[in-house]
Structure 1
Amino acid sequence: MKKNAENAEEFFCKECDFRCCKMSNWTTHKLTRKHQNRTNLNEKMPKNATANFSCKKCNKAYKARNSLWYHESKCNVTDVDRLLTDNQRLLSDNVELRNFIIEQSKLTAELVNKALESSKNTNIVNSNNNTINNNKFNINLFLNEQCKDAFNFTEFVKNIEISYQDLENNAQLGFVQGISKIFMDNLKQLSINERPIHCTDVKRETMYIKDEDKWTKEVDDSKLQKAIQTVSYKSMGKLMEWKQENPEYQDADSEFSKRCIDIQRQSLAGSERNIYYPKVIHVLAKETMVDK
């Protein structure tokens, strides 16, 4: 209760946002159902109560329902404000993806240059030379006769399709095991003689790859590294598609948004590329070892 400049008493009800200068009006207000409901609700509310009532417009939380009602009657946040916030998040995602694509394009260019440099020294496996015998096993005969109808490696990688389950596996297994599983799941759909990749020595990671209709010994792992990078790109593309199809991604605190962050972290090698890529290659070597 306050007094104005003319010493007249002023009555103010905080719960109802009601003001008056006459005692009769003040007494009448206190007897209204609105006032009694609000004051009774606040009296029942414990001091240590948690904020369980949230504004749907701005997400502010309140301990009492009447406090929320009073706030909502004056809240100026509109759907337009929320839409602007969502658009800002989408723009941020697009900038991040653009930077990622630029960085990966540079890595691709480096791999292409390495492949061109090493192609001059590539050992081509054919029936006339470079015959490798290991415990009487003729790798040349195996590749050029038994595996002559195998798929080209570039075509095989191009046809790999990433599923939502593959993304979940990446988040759960990590980059090395997740990406390796994608390769092996697709290789296992082919017979041994149709596969475009074989290993003859796991310890030395001696790998043979068929591309451009001929079998060659992988000298510097450039083709395998490029393939791993391609599958990583495909995983990110599938993740972006999943985000656009799922409205839960608009909520940064939703379980789906948090899962997307884990998937993205485990689908990209990033600065650990020189560590993760060789590990994936080693897994592929073990899984594609020729049964001599």
Structure 2
Amino acid sequence: MNSLNKKVLKVLKKREGEFYCNKCDYNSSSHSNYKKHVLTRKHILNASLNEKYSDYTCEFCNKTYKNRNGLWYHKKKCNVNNGGNEIVSDIDVIDVSSNDVVKHVSDDDNMYKEMFLSMVHENKEMRKTIHDLIPRIGDNNVTNMYQSTTTNHNHFNMNIFLNTQCKNALNLADFVQSLQLQVEDLENNAKYGFVEGMSKIFIRGLQALDVYKRPIHCSDGKRDTLYVKENDAWNREEDDYKNMKDAIVSIKRKNLQKMDDLINDNPDVPIDNNQEMQYLNILSNSIGSEENKDRDFNKIIKNVAKEVLVDKKNTL
């Protein structure tokens, strides 16, 4: 058997009433089912491939030989072929042209070809993505790359910002203690009122610090969501803003201590009625209204929050 142009023989061996195909290791008790089997694509491909790669087999008795000459000499003397044995009950001969087999093989080849082309396309897409990412990796370090990614996806992590970049910030109490107040701050209270005067003192102290050294940061300007560092730890300020209000009270006390300096600037000059009224006005605006205390404190906190609002897009 030289080529796919030759007829492919399918042998039916009767084994206890069954029809057996040794090419596919298939058996059936029904002759009609067996005939259907030998017309299947699987059988045709197995037969064509086995012809090319297997030993030379006698279609009458299934004996195998290593070369074609041996099989030819055997067939001349084969008892089954000469009617001496009844093992073979029937032989189906199917005419399979090379075009039929090639068509089946080509179908499989096309399927694998499509799979291969799909993989190549996906590979190109992945290489393009990597190519686009390379400049970004080259221009930024790992930290910047992470922060850029989180910012772009609107997933700025306030806790990471505070505990990494602001880990050396002052405690709020230490910040208040460090404030240097002047007599001018008292006069500003009389000029601008308690809320604006206290806000200016607080904000001036914050502006004098590096952003990452500040003890207060705001993550949400609409809700005045504040984070305060106290006792060497960052925590979100509660709704009552206790830490911030305590800080305002401490600044107010430091400011009032400057009243002695204001009065003692001219110790030899008698205090007239106008000057006395001026001092009382300064004192009143430096203390604030007890009746409007909560409202005034909340206004001061809102002013401070605007100053310390974190720029999530540009903060690195």
Give the structure 2 partner of residue 79 of structure 1: none
1:168 paired residue among 187, 196, 201? 187
In structure 2, give the amino acid aligned to 1:282.
K
Alignment of 1:291 with 2:300, yes or no, is no
Change (3 A) 1:279 1:212: same
- How far, CA to CA, are the matches of 1:249 and 1:263 in structure 2? 19
Q: SS in structure 2 opposite 1:280?
A: helix
Distance 1:189 1:205 in 2: 22
CA distance in 2, matches of 1:148, 1:192: 12
Where does residue 144 of structure 2 map in the other structure? Answer: none
- State the Cα distance separating 1:194 from its structure 2 match: 0.5
Instruction: Work out whether 1:247 is the aligned partner of 2:267.
Output: yes
User: What is the deviation of 1:191?
Assistant: 0.6
- Whether the aligned pair in 2 keeps the contact of 1:150 and 1:195 (CA below 8 Å) is yes
Partner of 1:200: 219
RMSD: 2.0
User: Are residue 280 (structure 1) and residue 293 (structure 2) matched?
Assistant: no
How many angstroms apart in 2 are the aligned matches of 1:273 and 1:208?
A: 22
Deviations 1:161-212 (A, max 9, x none): 2101111111111111100000111111101001010001122111001111
In structure 2, the partner of 1:25 is none
1:214 to 229, 233, 247: 233
- For structure 2, list consecutive stretches of 5 or more residues without a partner in the other structure: 1-149
CA displacement at 1:248 relative to structure 2: 6.4
Q: Name 1:223's counterpart in structure 2.
A: 243
Contact 1:198 1:207 in 2 (8 A): yes
Aligned to 2:197: 178
Q: 1:270 to 1:248 in 2, by over 3 A?
A: farther
* Amino acid corresponding to residue 262 of structure 1 in structure 2: N
Q: 1:230 to 1:249 in 2, by over 3 A?
A: farther
User: The residue matched to 1:137 in structure 2 has which SS?
Assistant: coil
AA paired with 1:236?
A: L
1:249 & 1:204 partners in 2: Cα distance?
50
Q: 1:222 is matched by which residue type in structure 2?
A: K
- Could you tell me which residue of structure 1 aligns to residue 120 of structure 2? none
The residue identity in structure 2 corresponding to 1:287 is E
1: distance between equivalents of 2:269 and 2:196? 26
Distance 1:264 1:198 in 2: 31
Distance 1:229 1:246 in 2: 28
Contact 2:183–2:261 (Cα < 8 Å) also in 1: no
Cα drift, residue 240 of structure 1 = 2.4
Normalised TM-score (structure 2) = 0.48
Q: Which amino acid aligns with 1:187?
A: L
Structure-1 residue corresponding to 2:136:
none
In the alignment, the residues of structure 1 paired with residue 267 and residue 273 of structure 2 have an alpha-carbon distance, to the nearest angstrom, of: 13
Structure of higher CA gyration radius: 2
Structure 1 SS opposite 2:223: coil
Write out the 4+ residue segments of structure 1 that deviate beyond 6 Å after TM superposition: none
1:140 aligned onto 2:159: yes
Matches within 5 A, 1:257-268: 257-268=276-287
d(CA) in 1 for partners of 2:218 and 2:249?
Answer: 20
Q: Which residue of 2 aligns with 1:74?
A: none
CA distance 1:258–1:136, shift in 2 (3 Å): same
Residues 202 and 285 in structure 1, CA contact (< 8 A), matched pair in contact too = yes
Q: How many residues align?
A: 160
Aligned equivalents of 2:165, 2:200: Cα separation in 1: 26
Distance 1:239 1:147 in 2: 36
Contact 1:243 1:249 in 2 (8 A): no
Distance, in Å, in 1 between the alignment partners of 2:177 and 2:260 is 19
Q: How far does residue 268 in structure 1 lie from its aligned partner after superposition?
A: 1.0
CA distance in 2, matches of 1:264, 1:136: 47
**Deviation at residue 265 of structure 1 after TM alignment:** 1.2
